[in-house]
Amino acid sequence: MQPLQWEYRPDGLRAPALICAFKGWNDAADSASSALTFVGGALGARRFATIDPEEFYDFQSTRPRVKFVENRARAIEWPVVELYEARVPRAPRDLVLLTGSEPSFRWRTFTRVIVELAEALGTQMVVTLGALLADVPHTRPISVTGLASDAALVTRLGLTRSSYEGPTGIVGVLHAACEEQGMPSASLWAAVPHYIAAQPNPKAALALVRKLEGLVGVAVDASELEDAAADYERQVNAAVQSDPDVQAFVERLEQAADPEPEEAPGPLPSGETIARELQRFLRQRGADDPPEGPSV
């Protein structure tokens, strides 16, 4: 069986850009996958293909799910990678959206399937979305770093160029595979406060959506995501203000983020301790189920 399973072949896509986001290691606080899901929902994206999981996933770590269908029979839902088309008549291009969990095996084969699909659809640019944990305060704007095969893109979008060296995920491998094939590509990464990483972060998702809009020239109505981000920040602020130790920790991060940081305070609890306290507080306020935007 071929890994790529077509439901239909989209014709007439205009200068398409392929946007990819993967759940897992590359997706701190679900920020990248949430950004792509929101864009797909806002643009009325339609699924046209999947990538069969058999060759690429460890089903003990990425487990299939069982559910009841209409006649009460039990059905298995496998962790497939899904591809959607989004037609945007008033924009200069259409979009192809790829979403799924980070695969476990055969990354070079997996990325080759994606690159060949992009070529078959006449894709003019591949964009990967990611999110990473960082020592940044939630009170500051989300920083988005970027890589691009065209260095001018980084400058035009006002990105901070990434200088990261170390272990990478499927997002980094796919970006490298595109460069090897001479396909224009870019990678956008949002920096997520590590002490609230267990909660989905709509503020980081919104930052990725805004940078993506500037990169591909496609705008979406993000008012619902803006509302979710504002509500999220209010909840986190309340959690921080309820505990002097947590507040001092955040203030230290704010000082480090400012151009001229003041003298650092004395010893404070670790980030792990702060994270546990914040999660406890947010659970008590019922914040484990934040507002959801449209889904692909």
Lowest mean pLDDT among 131-140, 161-170, 203-212: 161-170
Q: Is the model more confident about 18 or about 266?
A: 18
Q: Kindly tell me if the per-residue pLDDT of 204 is higher than 70.
A: yes
Q: Each residue of 215-250: pLDDT tens digit?
A: 999 999 999 999 999 999 999 998 888 888 888 888
Q: Each residue of 138-147: pLDDT tens digit?
A: 989 999 988 8
Kindly state the percentage of the chain with pLDDT values over 90: 58
For the whole model, what pTM was predicted? 0.83
Q: Kindly tell me if the per-residue pLDDT of 264 is higher than 60.
A: no
Q: Is the model more confident about 271 or about 191?
A: 191
Q: What is the mean pLDDT of residues 15-37?
A: 96
Domains observed in the chain = 4-221 (3.40.50.10900), 227-284 (no CATH)
Kindly state the percentage of the chain with pLDDT values over 70: 85
Instruction: State the chain's mean pLDDT as an integer.
Output: 86
Q: Is the model more confident about 103 or about 77?
A: 103
Q: Is the model more confident about 275 or about 6?
A: 6
Q: For residues 207 and 38, is the Cβ–Cβ distance under 8 A?
A: no
Lowest mean pLDDT among 43-52, 171-180, 262-271, 272-281: 262-271
pLDDT band at residue 157 under the 50/70/90 scheme: confident
Q: Kindly tell me if the per-residue pLDDT of 171 is higher than 80.
A: yes
Identify the pLDDT of residue 290: 40
Q: What is the mean pLDDT of residues 54-71?
A: 88
